Amino acid sequence: MFGKTIKLRKNSYIENLDLITDAYDISSELLERDRQQAMKDILVKNAFQPAKDRHGPYTLELYTEDNRLIFHITNNKGKDLNYLVLSLKPYRRIIKDYFLIVRSYDDAVKDGKPSRIEAIDMGRRGLHNEGATLLLERLSDKIMLDMDTARRLFTLICVLHSGKTHIMR
């Protein structure tokens, strides 16, 4: 039941979350707002259960290295779980489209066109759903998440790639 409303143990959630990066591009107001909102929302409410551990809540460090997404998870007993490494190639198009939408949004805000902003925001939500669905599929046998948590993690994946999209060609 990945991606739907799922019932997990009371302690199946991320308690602490760190994005590990040299820097990310906060030149976009939307990107920075998305990052702040995703971090806040994950820490307020999330569903997160690694497949082979029942000792939550969890600390999650997210970072990228050599075009791979790394999940470093620690349980509440302080035990490091195996690092989870995912190739980011399957996300290439979605992340590229996300940054195009961010640029379009920023341009629409500068031009002061509310109807265009609304249309762009709908497209952004669609991309978040697509990215979250892909993340749920790829994590299905490793980590159980709900759709809201997957959407927020996808946002953070995009933030980790801000300014690095040229690497993903």
Q: What is the pTM of this model?
A: 0.88
The CA angle 112-116-118, to the nearest 5 degrees, is 105
pLDDT higher than 70, residue 102: yes
Q: How far is CA 10 from the centre of its chain?
A: 22
- Report pLDDT for 163: 54
pLDDT, one tens digit per residue, over 70-86 is: 999 999 999 999 899 99
Q: Decide which of 1 and 124 is more confident.
A: 124
pLDDT higher than 70, residue 156: yes
- Report pLDDT for 58: 98
Domain boundaries, the chain: 14-160
Q: Which range has the worst mean pLDDT, 81-85, 109-113, 129-133, 143-147?
A: 109-113
pLDDT mean across residues, the chain: 88
pLDDT higher than 90, residue 167: no
